Chains A and B, each alone.
Chain A
Amino acid sequence: MNIMLENLRFSFNCKIVKNNDLELAKISPQEKTLLVGFPSNGLVGTFSISYLIHHLKMKYIGDVEVSDLPSTLFVEEGEILAPIRVYNKNNLFVIISDVPFDQYLAEKFALAVHAFCKDHTIKKIVLVSGMESVNQKEDGPKIYGLVTHPILESKLYDNQIPKFLNGSIFGTDAAIISVFRKTNIPVMVLYAECHSFFPDPEASIIAIVTLAKILDIEIDIKDIQNKIDTLRIQHRNLMEETLRTLQEKKTRAPQIYR
């Protein structure tokens, strides 16, 4: 079944825009999963979701527009790209944002994600984010999971992901969790321990490995391992912009004391 994106118009002043140049991917009738990534602590979501799109060779199928988001476009090798894009392969969808959200836009973005899920009969969502590590262990960053519905608890257990037990969540993660916990679409959030204020591709590798287990796919992490230092330099500006956006509206990054 081809999904006709041109027929989709989201409420909340958000819509998905058809991409004319690309053939839309066929959707498997199996359970559809949506992955969501956006700039936050350590840019963990940005790195891990981008890597997955690249590694799985997912198809770009359209953009999500969020009203009040300042007009922004990116140009990559002559191609114009919107900041919030949708990718697909089989029953796996991805929404990735290249721009950080303040609290106001985070809520709008969360509603747009919800509208997308309803229209595409998405059965579950996985968010990837970073969590400030106060006392990071010697053996590297750990990852924790949080679920909105009991149905996803077994996924954490089966994949030996410890549960995020105590702490506070702010910003876009919190906005998405708040919207979806009232619906019948469950959300799993993976929080990788990271440096909150510097790009942290090393933490993203833990997130990618965990994501692969959850999705039951194989992902070779060699590419990202070889580029850790370069990625840190390349993403300095996005990290700085993310921190400024979060500070401006007095939202805070997740912080946990253990």
Chain B
Amino acid sequence: MNNFDKFEFRMAFPMISSLFDDIEQRILSPLSCLREFDNYWMLEFDLPLVDKKDIDVTFDENIISIKAKLKEEYSEEKQGNIIKFEYFKKSISLPERINVKKTTAKFQKGRLEIKIPKKIVGHSIKIN
């Protein structure tokens, strides 16, 4: 296989969503990015301090939600107060026409990669 076999179109920038931590519930909002490729979407979440077994991924229509428990409590100091966090949690709206059943996921180096195939729609046109 030469290098060109691996070539895929990718967007210069992903769709990024804002971060909103929930201090009361001790929930951190993870970074995520959604990138479009020829035949699929790649949704990634940055989940440091997390073990694979502690990640839950759920689909509800076109919304994907993840919840992950941190291996250890993470603390941040904000305006003199120590704030502790125990979970990552986020929901992302996905584009239309996706094949949920063929979605796959892998977790490597604290990054969750969810590959969501596009649904092939339409029909071919015969060229005379």
Q: Interface on A for B, CB 8 Å cutoff?
A: 134-135, 195, 197-199, 202, 228-230, 232-234, 236-237, 239-240, 243-244, 246-247, 252-253, 255, 257-258
With beta carbons under 8 angstroms apart, the residue of A135, A197, A202, A230 that contacts B6 is A135
* Nearest-CB residue, chain B, relative to A247: B13
Known: A134-B6, A229-B110. 6 other contacts (CB 8 A): A135-B3, A229-B48, A234-B76, A236-B19, A240-B18, A243-B16
Q: Is A258 a contact partner of B3 (Cβ separation < 8 A)?
A: yes
Alpha-carbon gap, A198 to B33, bound state (A): 9
Q: Is B3 a contact partner of A197 (Cβ separation < 8 A)?
A: no
Q: Interface on B for A, CB 8 Å cutoff?
A: 3, 6-7, 10, 12-14, 16, 18-19, 28-31, 33, 44, 46, 48-49, 74, 76, 109-111
Alpha-carbon gap, A135 to B48, bound state (A): 21
Q: Is B31 a contact partner of A239 (Cβ separation < 8 A)?
A: yes
Q: Is B46 a contact partner of A244 (Cβ separation < 8 A)?
A: no
CB distance from B17 to the nearest CB of A (A): 9
Contacts of B33 in A (CB 8 A): 197-198
* Nearest-CB residue, chain B, relative to A239: B31
Alpha-carbon gap, A202 to B48, bound state (A): 12
With beta carbons under 8 angstroms apart, the residue of B13, B18, B31, B74 that contacts A198 is B31
Query: Is the contact region of chain B dominated by helix, strand, or loop, or is it mixed?
Result: loop
Q: Is B31 a contact partner of A197 (Cβ separation < 8 A)?
A: yes
CB contact under 8 A between A236 and B13, given known A198-B44, A198-B111, A228-B48: no
CB distance from A249 to the nearest CB of B (A): 12
CB contact under 8 A between A237 and B19, given known A197-B33, A202-B109: yes
Query: Is the contact region of chain A dominated by helix, strand, or loop, or is it mixed?
Result: helix
Alpha-carbon gap, A228 to B111, bound state (A): 13
Q: Is B12 a contact partner of A255 (Cβ separation < 8 A)?
A: yes
**Total contacts A-B at CB 8 Å:** 59
* Nearest-CB residue, chain A, relative to B7: A257
Alpha-carbon gap, A233 to B29, bound state (A): 10
Alpha-carbon gap, A197 to B30, bound state (A): 12
Contacts of A253 in B (CB 8 A): 12-13
Contacts of A202 in B (CB 8 A): 109
Q: Is A232 a contact partner of B46 (Cβ separation < 8 A)?
A: yes
Alpha-carbon gap, A228 to B109, bound state (A): 11
**Interface pairs (9), CB distance under 8 Å:** A195-B46, A197-B14, A197-B33, A202-B109, A233-B49, A236-B46, A240-B16, A243-B13, A243-B14
* Nearest-CB residue, chain A, relative to B49: A229
Q: Is B31 a contact partner of A240 (Cβ separation < 8 A)?
A: yes
* Nearest-CB residue, chain B, relative to A258: B3
Alpha-carbon gap, A252 to B14, bound state (A): 11
Which 7 pairs of residues, A with B, have the shortest CB-CB distance?
Answer: A229-B48, A232-B48, A198-B46, A197-B33, A229-B49, A252-B12, A236-B31
* Nearest-CB residue, chain A, relative to B3: A258
* Nearest-CB residue, chain A, relative to B14: A197
Contacts of A232 in B (CB 8 A): 46, 48, 110
B13, B14, B30, B110 pick with most chain A CB within 10 angstroms: B13
Contacts of B31 in A (CB 8 A): 197-199, 236, 239-240
B31, B109, B110 pick with most chain A CB within 10 angstroms: B31
With beta carbons under 8 angstroms apart, the residue of B7, B19, B76 that contacts A240 is B19
CB contact under 8 A between A244 and B74, given known A199-B46, A232-B48, A258-B3: no
CB contact under 8 A between A233 and B13, given known A135-B6, A240-B19, A257-B7: no
CB distance from B11 to the nearest CB of A (A): 10
Contacts of B110 in A (CB 8 A): 229, 232
